[in-house]
């Protein structure tokens, strides 16, 4: 017997409906009666719209300088102080009347967060690479993101005014990552620019518009608006404010809308300079005031009747509450592969690899790709050097990938995203162990392994030299608990430097067994003194987990 407050799982629902001759269909998100919204627009209703451009690239390669120059020269004249509002998107009109919208993504997080929620709003990616530098980890990351989204790239080779500028070297290095510019026989447009001097910017914008013309981007402005949330915040004076990019239709003041789990009525629309506007057409960004709560980046905004909007939001909120009550893993686990193979299905294992040095990452990547068989393909969707960050975890979540870390650790943001999205992060110190684990999973024989549980982390803030003891690190515990008798590792810039045990753990002058989050303490790592301010000391414990195919399928963890 089941009570009215209990929920049947999908298998039970499927079984029951099968008895009555019906087929159950799983809905990921409650859309309401939106069939008419999803219909194909008649060609005669579609008009050309401005392209949406995302600027990506490595830190210090001149993304901000490029954006600032474009804004200063192209934003409508007479606006004192340029753009004062912090907005994640803005509209640019050129002298000849043509327009484009720029998405200003901090790193790649916003770009991936939107893709994670099924919102591919970007038409073209401008990849900024410094001419006096080489192709750096974040550049490679940007290429991976753009390629996975299927978005064309226009390369802007910046800092051409510097004496050490070598654009040919940049083009050659891009070749290694399958980005072939036109000069080398490829189809990727490139343009040498100097954001500081303003050289080549007009030619770059011309090439972006050329790329957009080839895509032939169109939308119908004469219908109820649909848009995507770029970013959202809770403003002290204005309440919930969402930066929205209108995808189709025209958004007007007074419209009733649904936005993710929130509803509302548009009280005001502001442009990127904080000025009130009455409406926003396709590919136009605007700040929307009047939503009942703060939506998430990537949420879809839809204009509809107020009563219907309220009904949809109430149902979505109820389903969201129920979803949180049911703990459900959405991510792909290494153990899932054996289950797919056992069911006779062809499987593809997507992998994100991060390591401490490029040589190891390359070797691991090549070795894993060679494990592919007729039944299962191993595909490395991104590889890079450095700590596992939030962007990696989001990319893994959107691509149903597992993350393999070699001598590197996930940061706090990455761990949080991985936990929320159910992303499997596996960390290794020896290459062959990673290869053996993946091979065993492909063969359906994943052996028992050790699971590491992070107990706590402390940041080194001061160093003391103590005679006959060595270096004592004055630390602040940022999360969890540091324990005297558990193993620790020293992490510098996301890379593991040393693993060992604590020689001592003190609060003031007293020896203590543990120190909790929010407290300061002194630590000495047994047999290691090369500690620096800013390092992170992580305390962890190892748990033995026996895993079998049966226990994987049933969700049990076996003997520990």
* Domain annotation for the chain: domains and CATH numbers: 46-219 (3.40.50.300), 231-269+285-325 (2.40.30.10), 334-447 (3.40.50.10050), 453-543 (2.40.30.10)
Q: Residue 4, Cβ neighbours under 10 Å: how many?
A: 4
Query: How many helices (H) and strands (E) would you count in the chain?
Result: 14, 30
Alpha carbon distance 26, 476 (integer Å): 47
352 contacts: CB under 8 Å, gap ≥ 6:
380, 381, 382, 383, 392, 395, 396, 399, 401, 402, 403, 404
The model's pTM is 0.56
Alpha carbon distance 158, 312 (integer Å): 47
Q: Residue 322, Cβ neighbours under 10 Å: how many?
A: 10
Bridge partners, residue 47, by sequence? 219
- Residue closest to 363 by CA, chosen among 372, 373, 353: 353
Strand order in the sheet with 52-57: 89-93, 99-103, 52-57, 124-130, 153-158, 189-192
Instruction: For 324-368, give the DSSP string.
Output: HHS----S--HHHHHHHHHTT--EEEEEEEEESSHHHHHHHHHHH
Give pLDDT tens digits along the chain (560 positions). 788 777 777 888 888 898 899 888 876 555 544 433 455 667 777 788 888 888 887 766 777 777 777 776 554 333 333 333 344 677 777 777 788 888 765 544 455 555 555 456 788 888 888 888 777 777 887 788 788 778 888 998 888 888 888 888 888 888 888 888 888 888 888 888 887 777 888 888 888 888 888 888 888 888 888 898 887 777 778 888 888 889 888 999 999 999 888 899 999 998 877 788 888 888 888 899 999 888 877 788 999 888 988 889 888 888 777 765 654 444 556 666 666 666 655 567 889 999 887 777 878 888 888 887 776 778 888 888 888 988 889 888 888 889 999 888 888 888 888 888 888 899 988 888 888 888 877 765 444 456 788 999 999 999 998 888 888 999 999 999 999 989 999 999 888 889 999 989 999 888 999 999 999 999 999 888 899 999 999 999 988 664 433 333 333 333 33
- Residue closest to 394 by CA, chosen among 53, 111, 29, 59: 111
């Amino acid at each position: 017997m089941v009570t009215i407050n209990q929920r049947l799982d999908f298998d039970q629902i499927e079984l029951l409906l099968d008895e009555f001759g019906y087929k159950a269909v799983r809905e990921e998100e409650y859309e309401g009666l939106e069939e008419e919204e999803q219909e194909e627009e008649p060609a005669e209703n579609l008009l050309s719209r401005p392209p949406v451009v995302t600027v990506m690239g490595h830190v210090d390669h001149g993304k901000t300088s490029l954006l600032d120059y474009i804004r200063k020269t192209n934003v409508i004249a007479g606006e004192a102080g340029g753009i004062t509002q912090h907005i994640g998107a803005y509209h640019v009109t050129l002298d000849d009347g043509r327009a484009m919208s720029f998405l200003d993504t901090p790193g790649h997080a916003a770009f991936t967060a939107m893709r994670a929620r099924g919102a591919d709003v970007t038409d073209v990616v401008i990849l900024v690479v410094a001419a006096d530098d080489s192709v750096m980890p974040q550049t490679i990351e940007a290429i991976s993101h753009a390629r996975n989204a299927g978005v064309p790239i226009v390369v802007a080779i910046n800092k051409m005014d510097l004496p050490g500028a070598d654009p040919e070297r940049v083009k050659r290095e891009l070749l290694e990552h399958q980005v072939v510019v036109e000069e080398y026989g490829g189809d990727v447009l490139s343009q040498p620019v100097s954001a500081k001097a303003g050289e080549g910017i007009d030619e770059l914008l011309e090439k972006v518009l050329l790329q957009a013309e080839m895509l032939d981007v169109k939308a119908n402005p004469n219908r109820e608006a649909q848009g995507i949330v770029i970013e959202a915040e809770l403003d002290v004076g204005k309440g919930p404010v969402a930066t929205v990019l209108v995808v189709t239709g025209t958004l007007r003041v007074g419209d009733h809308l649904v936005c993710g789990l929130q509803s509302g009525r548009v009280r005001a629309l502001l442009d990127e300079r904080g000025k009130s506007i009455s409406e926003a057409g396709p590919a136009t960004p605007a700040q929307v005031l009047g939503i009942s709560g703060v939506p998430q980046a990537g949420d879809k905004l839809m204009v509809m009747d107020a009563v219907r909007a309220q009904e949809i939001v109430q149902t979505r909120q109820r389903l969201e509450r129920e979803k949180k009550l049911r703990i459900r893993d959405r991510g792909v686990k290494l153990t899932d592969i054996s289950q797919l193979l056992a069911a006779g299905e062809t499987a593809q294992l997507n992998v994100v690899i991060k390591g401490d040095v490029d040589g190891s990452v390359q070797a691991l990547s090549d070795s894993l790709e060679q494990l592919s068989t007729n039944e299962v393909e191993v595909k490395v969707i991104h590889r890079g050097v450095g700590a596992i960050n939030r962007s990696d975890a989001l990319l893994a979540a959107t691509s149903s990938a597992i993350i393999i870390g070699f001598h590197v650790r996930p940061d706090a943001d990455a761990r949080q995203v991985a936990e929320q999205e159910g992303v499997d992060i596996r960390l290794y110190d020896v290459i062959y162990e990673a290869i053996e684990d993946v091979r065993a999973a492909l063969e359906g024989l994943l052996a028992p392994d050790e699971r590491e549980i992070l107990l706590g982390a402390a940041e080194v803030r001061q160093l003391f030299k103590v005679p006959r003891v060595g270096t004592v690190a004055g630390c602040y515990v940022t999360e969890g608990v540091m324990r005297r008798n558990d193993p620790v590792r020293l992490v510098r810039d996301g890379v593991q430097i040393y693993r060992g045990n604590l020689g001592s753990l003190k609060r003031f002058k007293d020896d203590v067994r543990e120190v909790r989050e929010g407290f300061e303490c002194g630590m000495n790592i047994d047999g290691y003194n090369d500690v620096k301010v800013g390092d992170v000391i992580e305390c962890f414990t190892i748990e033995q987990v026996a895993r079998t195919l049966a226990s994987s399928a049933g969700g049990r963890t076996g003997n520990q």
